[in-house]
Amino acid sequence: GAGVSQSPRYKVAKRGQDVALRCDPISGHVSLFWYQQALGQGPEFLTYFQNEAQLDKSGLPSDRFFAERPEGSVSTLKIQRTQQEDSAVYLCASSLYGGNTEAFFGQGTRLTVV
Give the binding site for other proteins (CB under 8 A): 4, 6, 33, 35, 41-45, 48, 50, 55-56, 59, 91, 93, 98-108, 110
96 vs 114 by CB, closer to other proteins: 96
Instruction: For the CB of residue 102, give the shortest distance to other proteins in the complex, in Å.
Output: 5
Instruction: For the CB of residue 78, give the shortest distance to other proteins in the complex, in Å.
Output: 20
**Residues β-bridged to residue 5:** 24
Instruction: For the CB of residue 26, give the shortest distance to other proteins in the complex, in Å.
Output: 12
Say whether 7 sits in a helix, a strand or coil.
Answer: strand
- Rounded to an integer, what distance in angstroms lies between the CA atom of residue 81 and that of residue 14? 9
- Rounded to an integer, what distance in angstroms lies between the CA atom of residue 2 and that of residue 13? 30
Question: Using CB atoms within 10 A of its CB, is residue 70 exposed (0-12), middle (13-18) or buried (19+)?
Answer: exposed
19 vs 108 by CB, closer to other proteins: 108
- Rounded to an integer, what distance in angstroms lies between the CA atom of residue 51 and that of residue 54? 8
63 vs 102 by CB, closer to other proteins: 102
Backbone angles phi, psi at 48, to 5 degrees: -140, 135
17 vs 50 by CB, closer to other proteins: 50
Instruction: For the CB of residue 37, give the shortest distance to other proteins in the complex, in Å.
Output: 9
